[in-house]
Amino acid sequence: MSKKIEREEVSSRRKLLVSAAGVAAGAAGAVLASSSAAAASAVSTSGAGAEKRTINSITTKDGTLIHFKDWGTGPVVVFSHGWPLQGDAWEDQMMFLASNGYRVIAHDRRGHGLSSQPWSGNDMDTYADDLATLMDTLDLKGATMVGHSTGGGEVARYIGRHGSKRVAKAVLVGAVPPQMVKSANNPDGLPMSVFDGIRSGVLADRSQFFKDLTIPFYGYNRPGSKPSQGVRDTFWAQGMQCGIKNAYDCIKQFSETDFTEDLKKMDMPTLIVHGSDDQIVPIDTSGKAAAKIVKNAKLIIYEGAPHGLPTTHKDKLNADLLAFLKS
């Protein structure tokens, strides 16, 4: 696929998202023109003017366009998002940390958000390699990598494949490692039928499936919860930005990938945050299990918190992230 076609595709999906958000047509045109120009521009790796960079893209070796945001100055924090979302899922943490003296970077995984939607390469190794391309292109050093859900697997696989020469610390939030599906090596995992159900939902009516998924994702089915229609709409809008083939392929990656050996290579200080009431990635076979494998892990359990805790418990997570970064 040519870069011109990819950029037209990105521009088209950006227009859809802006429209869904209800932005006036005239204002949207100006925003889209500015964003497209920024995305098409070459990536600057110099320190000067870095604080002005808000939207950029890189191209991987197979021609996939990876969109990312890069805000602020200071020590670097790199975010990896969950399925089927995009880098904007971290906006609460990025806004907070950039306002507190950190440079924050979040990319849209291939097939997700405003990145290209390639037919192939939708696997965890390639996700990690795309992230390596981003970090190498920006020449990031001493970074703290933060991953939520599938993004936590991406962080672990990055370190497993590319080492920790650019990484000072890591944070796994509601993350999928070491492995989600039940197997001989993971007898307490979830049955394959759970993930087959997700695949069926995506193929049958993914728009409705994403809307329904927001209920357990954010714990809105629990007594005393206060569902936010805005949060649910945002999840749906981001999910619909993900290509259906990319979304479908990614299910196998977050459910079946065994990250055990990757976790063993994480020798840097690592914070593991997990909600005790995570209905998507159960804590016993994920957060608690990962904490037993990672050498320098600290596990913090948010009592009663759901999978989408970066949103529902953003103030607590922001404070814990800042404390960990400063430690």
- Report the catalytic residues: 149, 278, 307
Length of the chain: 327
